[in-house]
């Protein structure tokens, strides 16, 4: 999918993005992964990934399929452990505290580290409005001005104008792109510090993708965003930092990380250069 990308244009896109100051209003002090390993049964899927995500930044995780990006992002909010045979090692620090430490309430962790999935997955039995507020119900949180919160989340997700007249309609009645923005709005309602996005635009048309990218840029004012993407231009357009993952017959590893402009214009590792210039992957 990246064969015909002109690398210099990617670099220029990334350069235009570089002046952006990281969000100053972001909550918390970001997220740190310390030598994270992941296994599925005996298959060592991810080896020794250490990565810092500063508060209020957007980090893109790129790399060919099967390189462990999605696995990595799922270790960051403990969704990885839902797969029966899955195991992990290492530490993930949120505000300096390991989310895998014993005694940590995993539901509270997932409130602080939200997630948007590849496929839009609104709750079909709920209306649009109920979907937005579903996190409050699921996590049993109290909230007074629910209507305001609903409106605010839908505005931030760029969906308000399209659905404000039919908040009582079912979530499944929206288009794919709208459903994905509904899922983003739903994640925002519980006010996370970090938002993980696993290829959120891969099932969407360019118009919807553009809307979601705008949304991501706005969100990074107040939270830390980590996004897995196969789309190089997307990584160049929206991210402050980029990390390149590669499996290449071994367990997936992080090959290189740095400011997005540097990864796309002047990568240190030959493999990164090959990938971002479209020579493979």
Partner 1 sequence: MAREGLSFITGYEWYSSINSDGSTGEDPSVYGIGAMLIGTIITALIAVSIGVPISIAAALYLNFYVPTAIRGFLVGVIDLMAAFPSILFGLWGFNVLMPSGEYWAKLLHKYLGWIPLFDVSTPFFSRSPFIAGLVLAIMIIPIVTSIAREVFSQTPLDRIQAAYALGATKWTMIRAVVLPFGYSGVVGGAMLGLGRAMGETVAVFTVLNIIFQANFQILLGAGGNVASLIILKFGEASAEEIKALMAAGLILFLLTLLVNMLADLLVSRTVKQGR
Binding site for partner 1 (CB under 8 A): 77, 79, 82, 84, 107-108, 110-111, 114-115, 117, 119, 121-126, 134-135, 137-140, 170, 172-173, 183, 186-187, 190
Q: Distance between CA atoms of 242 and 228, rounded to whole angstroms?
A: 10
Of 18 and 141, nearer to partner 1 (C-beta) is 141
Query: Would you say 226 and 57 are in contact if contact means Cβ atoms under 8 Å apart?
Result: no
What's the closest the beta carbon of residue 197 comes to partner 1, in angstroms? 11
Phi, psi for residue 227 in degrees, rounded to 5: -130, 130
Of 29 and 118, nearer to partner 1 (C-beta) is 118
Of 187 and 220, nearer to partner 1 (C-beta) is 187
Of 123 and 160, nearer to partner 1 (C-beta) is 123
What's the closest the beta carbon of residue 184 comes to partner 1, in angstroms? 12
What's the closest the beta carbon of residue 81 comes to partner 1, in angstroms? 10
What's the closest the beta carbon of residue 210 comes to partner 1, in angstroms? 24
What's the closest the beta carbon of residue 54 comes to partner 1, in angstroms? 23
DSSP 121: -
DSSP 23: P
Of 187 and 229, nearer to partner 1 (C-beta) is 187
Locate 256 and state its tokens.
């290189």
Q: List Cα–Cα distances, 145 to 51, 172, 187, 189, 222, in angstroms.
A: 38, 25, 17, 12, 21
Element (H, E) at 237: helix 232-238
């Amino acid at each position: 999918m990246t064969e015909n990308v002109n690398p210099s244009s990617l670099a220029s896109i990334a350069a235009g993005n570089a002046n952006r100051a990281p969000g100053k209003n972001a909550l918390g002090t970001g997220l740190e992964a310390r030598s994270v390993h992941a296994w599925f049964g005996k298959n060592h899927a991810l080896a020794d990934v250490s990565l810092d995500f500063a508060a209020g930044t957007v980090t893109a995780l790129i790399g060919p399929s099967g390189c462990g990006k999605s696995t990595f992002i799922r270790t960051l909010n403990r969704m990885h452990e839902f797969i029966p045979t899955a195991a992990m090692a290492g530490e993930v620090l949120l505000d300096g505290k390991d989310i895998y430490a014993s005694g940590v309430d995993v539901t509270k962790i997932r409130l602080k580290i939200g997630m948007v999935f590849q496929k839009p997955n609104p709750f079909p039995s709920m209306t649009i409005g109920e979907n937005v507020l579903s996190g409050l119900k699921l996590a049993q949180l109290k909230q007074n001005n629910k209507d305001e919160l609903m409106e605010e989340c839908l505005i931030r997700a760029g969906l308000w104008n399209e659905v404000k007249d039919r908040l009582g309609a079912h979530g499944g009645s929206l288009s794919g792109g709208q459903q994905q923005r509904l899922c983003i709005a739903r994640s925002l309602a519980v006010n996370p510090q970090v938002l993980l996005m696993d290829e959120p635009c891969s099932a969407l048309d360019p118009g919807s993708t553009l809307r979601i990218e705008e949304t991501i840029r706005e969100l990074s004012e107040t939270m830390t965003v980590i996004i897995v993407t196969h789309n190089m231009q997307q990584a160049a357009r929206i991210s402050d930092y980029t990390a390149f993952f590669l499996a290449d017959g071994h367990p997936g590893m992080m090959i290189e990380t740095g400011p997005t402009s540097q990864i796309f214009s002047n990568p240190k590792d030959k493999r990164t250069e090959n990938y971002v210039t479209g020579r493979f992957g």
